[in-house]
């Protein structure tokens, strides 16, 4: 960690700075990620800390690298995302959040087997980790009719743990649709829509 509360990301050409929060922000520290300017075209983002003070540099540094991995993944800057993920892994090798992000990056790059392996590793570490149950169900739902029962079981288990997860309802609806259970599919899509009315999931006219 550099002086002045900064982490330097020489590999990705940006700077991460931890700034103490004020009362207006609930006394939470902020992690300000400065953009790379015209050369890189990267935006400035703010990652919020979890506590009132920075007490554990290792935990906070992990959150910075992990947050940056998510940021660069969303921008499809895969090399930068992988660099940040490696930095996070060096701090906490066995982290459900880190392996979750690793799986998402693999899936977005078309590495489906690697993505599934990462998601499964998360469940081995934390069996009740709902986001990865949903992602596994989503991946399996695209792999043909033979695995639809497995996808349905995993998504149903995710909803048992977290009944308000709209994406679990959505993918369960897709599974029911592909399995010919149209009535059940409609019920699931309606539940997904009600739980997340402000964010369109998919044009329902394109589903059937």
Q: Is residue 19 part of a domain?
A: yes
- The total domain count for the chain is 1
The predicted pLDDT at position 135 comes to 96
Q: Answer yes or no: is 27 within a domain.
A: yes
For strands 14-19 and 45-48, give the pairing: unpaired
Considering the domain boundaries, does residue 205 fall inside one?
no
Q: What is the mean pLDDT of each run of 10 residues along the chain (208 residues)?
A: 41 41 39 42 45 59 89 89 89 88 91 94 94 96 92 96 95 95 95 78 44
Residue 108 domain flag:
no
Indicate whether 18 belongs to any domain.
yes
The answer to whether residue 16 is domain-embedded is yes
Domain that holds residue 4: 1-84
pLDDT value, residue 41: 43
């Amino acid at each position: 960690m550099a002086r002045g509360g900064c982490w330097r990301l020489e590999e990705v050409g940006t700077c991460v700075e931890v700034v103490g929060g004020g009362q207006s922000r609930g006394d939470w520290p902020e992690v300000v990620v400065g953009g790379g300017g015209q050369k890189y075209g990267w935006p400035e983002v703010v990652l919020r800390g979890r506590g009132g003070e920075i007490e554990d540099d290792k935990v906070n540094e992990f959150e910075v690298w992990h947050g940056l991995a998510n940021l660069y993944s969303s921008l499809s800057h895969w090399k930068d995302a992988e660099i940040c993920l490696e930095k996070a892994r060096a701090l906490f090798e066995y982290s459900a959040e880190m392996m979750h992000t690793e799986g998402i990056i693999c899936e977005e790059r078309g590495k489906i087997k690697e993505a599934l392996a990462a998601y499964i590793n998360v469940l081995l570490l934390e069996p009740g980790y709902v986001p990865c149950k949903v992602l596994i169900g989503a991946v399996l739902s695209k792999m043909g009719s033979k695995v639809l029962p497995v996808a349905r079981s995993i998504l149903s288990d995710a909803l048992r743990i977290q009944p308000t997860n709209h994406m679990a309802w959505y993918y369960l609806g897709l599974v029911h649709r592909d399995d010919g259970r149209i009535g059940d599919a409609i019920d699931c899509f309606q539940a997904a829509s009600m739980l997340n009315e402000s964010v369109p999931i998919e044009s329902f006219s394109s589903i059937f």
